[in-house]
Amino acid sequence: MIAQGQKLPAATLAQLTKDGMVNHQVTELFAGKKVVLFAVPGAFTPTCSEAHLPGYVVLADEFKAKGVDIIACVAVNDAFVMKAWGEAQNAGEIMMLADGDASFTKALGLEMDTAAFGGVRSQRYAMIVEDGVVTQLNVEAPKSFDVSKAEVVLQSL
């Protein structure tokens, strides 16, 4: 599993924008930036939709005021689902990134097999990344939602 002080792996994450599909190279996207990256097991799922993403939506301005350049949400879903979920959640300030084949999640060592629920998905986590290096990593225990909340991450900035 990736650890604090390590660089993010080279990977591609997809984003469906108003101009079409954009495939972001993680190393380029986060270069020279302060990023809050959080991951959810799945778009439109209960905890993710009722608490995790909404917390970041509500506090987006406060994150920006603390020098965060990008707030990004990643899930092992396709870019169409991530865009629809972002729109449904009024997440205009959040970069909704798709890890469709879980390659980024696996490279981080943060995948989990949910079996019939949806196969390989991401564990729930939040990290602070500065110029591509993880400076803080909060990984949730299974079935927990404590350390990756927006309020917790905001307090640590």
Give the DSSP letter of residue 102.
Answer: S
Nearest to 95 by CA among 73, 122, 76: 73
* Residue 155 C-beta-side C-alpha neighbours within 13 Å: 8
Q: Give the β-pairing of 95-98 and 70-75.
A: parallel
Ramachandran quadrant class, 89 (left: phi over 0; alpha: psi -120 to 50; beta: rest): alpha
Catalytic residue among 48, 68, 75, 127: 48
Bridge pairing between strands 34-39 and 125-130: antiparallel
Is residue 48 part of the annotated active site? The answer reads yes
Q: Catalytic positions, please?
A: 48
